[in-house]
Structure 1
Amino acid sequence: MYRKIVVAVDIAQLEKGERILRKASTLLDEGGTLLLLNVVEDIPGYLVSDLTVDMMVKARQESEETLIDLRARMGIAAEIEIREGSPAREILAASEERGADLIIVASHIPDLSNYFIGATADRVVRHAKCSVLIDR
């Protein structure tokens, strides 16, 4: 069905990541590619002075190790990419750079400001240039 799928995984909600990776593998055409993507969020400016560069490096390493473990545990071939920044912006950028024809993202239980889907998922849906699957 799809040749290039971006699977955006929040390592804080790994069980949802497993579910969407499993779903992605069933939707992928033979010979297609999966990208497991995690975005390490920007640190607010008022906290930057209190945090060291090592903390950001460690966060990236932890994200990569978690995705490598997820990929191995699930036995699904996928590329891994870790980005820094706004999750929605980076998910959209990765999908455009890779020419993705599907983005899969899990939605958290939203608050009143994002009643139907979470903030990141909401932004991805509104701005994506390809199909988006939101897993609840």
Structure 2
Amino acid sequence: MFERIMVPVDLAHAGKLDKALTVAADMAGHYGATLVYVGVSAATPSSIARTPEEFRSKLEAFAVDQAEQRGVRTEAHAVTSHDPSIDLDPTLVAAIGETGADLVVMASHIPNVTDAIWPSNGGSVAAHAKVSVVIVR
């Protein structure tokens, strides 16, 4: 049913993504799909990487580690954004087409009062994606 499952990851918070990563790996195993980990970074230095190339390398290492841990096929797709804090959602929606994903599995946060003002990343991606989106809380 699914062949390519996109999983947005924030390498700065990878330790908080276990539930979403587990759900994605379970679905990939069930359907024989490839997991495509998508990371978005600015071109400027950050706490994760000094350059887009270093970020890409770290995301690729993350994908290899996940493949070994979870026993599924993985790929990495790094995207450089002018300002991820502003354009993360449209960048992730564009990455769905770039990766050929037919499903997105992503982590979300516990809803709070700010969601009335700013929509969550998961809600925004789900509203604009042309594929199914599973949001794991």
TM-score, normalization by structure 1? 0.72
Q: What residue is the counterpart of 2:130 in the other structure?
A: 129
Q: Is the 8 A contact 1:108 1:118 kept in 2?
A: no
Runs of 4+ in structure 1 over 6 Å off: none
- Number of corresponding residues: 127
Q: What residue is the counterpart of 1:78 in the other structure?
A: 74
Match of 1:56 among 51, 54, 71: 51
Once the two structures are superposed, the pairs formed by residues 94-113 of structure 1 within 5 Å of their partners are: 94-113=95-114
Once the two structures are superposed, the pairs formed by residues 42-53 of structure 1 within 5 Å of their partners are: 42=42
Deviations 1:46-74 (A, max 9, x none): xx6xx69x823344443443343333333
The aligned amino acid for 1:27 is: M
RMSD: 2.9
Whole-Å separation in 2 of the counterparts to 1:110 and 1:56: 33
Q: Unmatched 5+ residue regions in structure 1?
A: none
- Relative to structure 1, is the Cα distance of residues 60 and 109 closer, same or farther in structure 2, using a 3 angstrom cutoff? farther
Q: Unmatched 5+ residue regions in structure 2?
A: 82-86
Whole-Å separation in 1 of the counterparts to 2:21 and 2:108: 14
- Pair member with larger Rg: 1
1:37 deviation in Å? Answer: 1.3
1:30 deviation in Å? Answer: 4.1
